[in-house]
Amino acid sequence: MENVLEVSALTGGYQRSRPVLHGVSFSVKPHEIVGLIGLNGAGKSTTIKHVLGLMEPHDGAVHIKGRTMDEDMEAYRSSLAYIPETPLLYEELTLWEHLELTAMAYGIDEKTFGERAEGLLKEFRMEKMVKWFPSHFSKGMRQKVMIMCAFLVNPDLYVADEPFVGLDPLGIRSFLDHMKEMKEKGCGILMSTHILATAEKYCDRFILLHEGRIVVQGTMEELRTQLDLPDADLDDIYVAVTEEGRHG
């Protein structure tokens, strides 16, 4: 099956003279949640920015559904939804207007939008706040708005950057359930997080980034074999990999 996301030999960063990523290659298939894991400053956010098409690769390429951003900007962007680490809301738009605007921008027809919006509002328990402005939202509610906007689009690829921060336990549960549902429908999901226990439970594969390079990637089993740590959980693997990086 064709990969939803294909990152091949990507070298990139803000400055050409000082690349942050060095030859990073990985892919996300349909029906798959991939965890992007690494210390602060490992290059997770830079990787995500390249996937979103906000940065140009110095070398290598990023394909979503077989297309690069240059080939067809509108199709590339239509195929992905982004859940940022810090919620990015428009202070002058109500919750409902955030949803409506997102649906408009992604070309979703009005009827489908209405149905999906109703469902999401109910699921994330935000029905009462549809006319509120973001200044009245808590951190968790803001994050829920971002998550609802992403699910509203219903794209082939989801990119989530630390999506759990600030969410209440019920919110985390709704989010994860929804992720699973999308995965079963055939979406690919790339998720960066520090909450390793949750990642271990929900992700199918992992990419461990360290200092701009992929140290190991694969399923839990593959990671254990590669590192020769038969009973390790993701926490142990994470520590082992970063320790190794420090000494090496």
Q: Of how many residues is the chain composed?
A: 248
Q: Tell me 121's DSSP state.
A: H
Tokens of 59: 């070398």
Q: What are phi and psi of 216, to 5 degrees?
A: -145, 155
d(CA 129, CA 137): 9
The answer to whether residues 195 and 176 touch, using CB atoms and an 8 Å cutoff, is: no
Among 90, 139, 225, 235, binds another protein (CB under 8 A): 90
Q: 131-150: which residues touch another protein (CB under 8 A)?
A: 133, 135
Which single residue is written with the structure tokens 């979103």?
52
Q: Is residue 74 a contact point for another protein (CB under 8 A)?
A: yes
Rounded (5°) CA angle 139-143-149: 150
Sheet holding 59-64, edge to edge: 21-28, 5-12, 59-64
The answer to whether residues 37 and 208 touch, using CB atoms and an 8 Å cutoff, is: yes
The count of other CB atoms within 10 Å of the CB of residue 71 is 10
Q: Which stretch binds another protein (CB under 8 A): 17-25, 82-90, 162-170, 193-201?
A: 82-90
Number of residues that bind another protein (CB under 8 A): 27
Q: 92-121: which residues touch another protein (CB under 8 A)?
A: 92-93, 97, 100-101, 104-107, 110
Q: Which amino acid is residue 147, in one-letter code?
A: I
Among 82, 137, 206, 238, binds another protein (CB under 8 A): 82
CB of 133 to another protein, least distance (A): 6
Q: Which stretch binds another protein (CB under 8 A): 5-13, 14-22, 84-92, 213-221?
A: 84-92
Q: Is residue 73 a contact point for another protein (CB under 8 A)?
A: yes
Q: Is residue 91 a contact point for another protein (CB under 8 A)?
A: yes
Among 14, 25, 88, 170, binds another protein (CB under 8 A): 88
Q: Which stretch binds another protein (CB under 8 A): 7-15, 59-67, 75-83, 216-224?
A: 75-83
Residue-wise DSSP of 129-150: GTT--GGG--HHHHHHHHHHHH
Distance set, CA 178 to CA 6, 13, 120, 139 (Å): 23, 32, 10, 20
Query: Judged by CB, which is closer to another protein: 132, or 202?
Result: 132
Which positions from 31 to 70 touch another protein by CB under 8 A, shown as an x/- string?
Answer: ---------------------xxx----------------
Sign of CA dihedral 63, 64, 66, 69: negative
CB of 55 to another protein, least distance (A): 11
CB of 51 to another protein, least distance (A): 11
CB of 13 to another protein, least distance (A): 17
Residues near another protein (CB under 8 A) are 52-54, 73-78, 80, 82, 84, 88, 90-93, 97, 100-101, 104-107, 110, 133, 135
